[in-house]
Amino acid sequence: MRLMWKSVDKMRCFRKRSMFPFLGFLITFLLFFNLYMDDGYVLEAEKRQLGETLMHPANSERYIHTFRDLSNFSGAVNVTYRYLAGIPLPRKKYLTIGLSSVKRKKGTYLLETIKSIFDQSSYEELKEIVVVVHLADFDLVWCENLVQEITRKFAHHIIAGRLLVIQAPEEYYPSLDGLKRNYNDPEDRVRFRSKQNVDYAFLLNFCTNLSHFYMMLEDDVRCSRNFLTALKKVITSREGSYWVMLEFSKLGYIGKLYHSRDLPRLAHFLLMFYQEMPCDWLLIHFRGLLAQKDVIRFKPSLFQHMGYYSSYKGAENKLKDDDFEEDSIDIPDNPPANLYTNINVFENYDATKAYSSIVDEYFWGKPPCTGDFFVIIFNKSTKISKIKIVTGTDDRQNDILHHGALEVGQKSVETKQGRQCNSYITLGEFKGGNIEVTNVDHKIGFDIECVRIVITANQKEWLIIRTISLWTTQPVSQLKK
């Protein structure tokens, strides 16, 4: 009974302390409302909600008692969240970016992460994203101070509906005492990683209906420029193929992309096995259970770990992603196409893998002969601005194309070998196994239907085509959503 009154008293204090930042936020909103009406997001219903308290009352029943309801994996977990800054808006966005943050012993990187997300996005991209920050620490004074700082620095984004700060009350958490000691982890480590699983589960649950896609970041991350445009290119290129999780960083729980429709199941999954293993290990099992066997990770990485001190005991964590590139806008478009070759393919290193931007995927064939070809047939004629082809790999530097030409064609027809173009123009010769041609659309007078690599001399070495990268002249605004 004493514990219950203590909890209620803490909540009362938090409400009182939160009234001043709320009033400041309300005044800021009224001052800037007319200035930002061009965002078109603030509706009558939302203005009424702003008059309500940002602190929603929490159900006092501990979340552990609701575990019996987890058999309904398609539904949301029943949690009453506290809204600390911002409110959910009715229009579904393209992408939700989720961050979960707790108090660190040696400072915080959260504000820098939020700033990087917004600074590295264009105005058009900002219209399509919403950032949700889950403050998952039970120190309410720390939460209040951080909310005040976030509100002061990012008021415009909060008003425009691009930034929400939430909290799942402690009453909803399962017991964090007496947990399984898997992997011989010390008790405090087990408690930390188990709570983190629940933190992420509540964040995923909240974000279910906010957008079409969901990206998980950690709270100490730097973003590449125009990362949303790069994401759209990749998602468009995967159209028609099955995937559960796409990865845009090789580190931790950074840069992991999901369909929003899968978030309820993932939230339930993390809650069911919260004390079994760390979240990044659980994610591997989750995608496997949903029939995505292999990792689908893209280069370059769009997100970089920037923190030096972990949220666990302030331990040093200087991991960096060496595939990260600050400027991601140069990711190739690779429009939808079919690929054919008459070169003997080795095992499962088929032609389509040369056209993929997935890490460690490439075409590998047995020694080609004069006249052999590798051809890309677009689904529809396309204006191409640049073509770049790289052969060989770092560990197989002799498996390059020693003698070959790059051609582009038009007027495709059906043949016994599949659809082919009946006329080609040569753009250049391979040198050192590679070729790059720019301003293609200025050098030829037609839209391209075929891109062909032709072997111009026999070679003894096998052939690896590591990447085929094509850039179109299609405006970003016309990318599929």
What is the pLDDT confidence band of residue 318, given thresholds at 50, 70 and 90?
low
Asked whether 362 and 465 are in contact (CB, 8 A), the reply is yes
Question: How does pLDDT run across 257-279, given as a tens digit for each residue?
Answer: 999 999 999 999 999 898 888 88
- Residue of 426, 412, 343 whose CA lies nearest to 379: 412
Residue 211 backbone zone (phi > 0: left; psi -120 to 50: alpha; other: beta): beta
> Is the model's pLDDT at 340 over the cut of 70?
yes
pTM, two decimal places: 0.71
Q: Give 175 or 9, the one with higher predicted confidence.
A: 175
Asked whether 204 and 267 are in contact (CB, 8 A), the reply is yes
Averaged over 294-303, what is the pLDDT? 84
d(CA 436, CA 137): 51
- Residue of 465, 404, 471 whose CA lies nearest to 438: 471
Residue 392 backbone zone (phi > 0: left; psi -120 to 50: alpha; other: beta): left
- CA-based max dimension of the chain: 86
Q: What is the mean pLDDT of the chain?
A: 80
> Is the model's pLDDT at 379 over the cut of 90?
no
Phi, psi angle pair for 421, to nearest 5°:
-85, 145
Question: How does pLDDT run across 77-136, given as a tens digit for each residue?
Answer: 888 999 999 988 888 999 999 999 998 776 778 999 999 999 999 999 999 999 999 999
d(CA 447, CA 421): 12
* Token representation of residue 153: 């620095």
Within 127-238, where are the H helices? 140-153, 155-159, 187-206, 227-237
- Percentage of the chain beyond pLDDT 90 is 46
Question: How does pLDDT run across 440-463, given as a tens digit for each residue?
Answer: 999 988 899 999 999 999 999 999
3-state secondary structure 390-448: EECECCECCCCCCCEEEEEEEEEEEECCEEEEEEEEEEEECECCEEEEECHHHHCCCCE
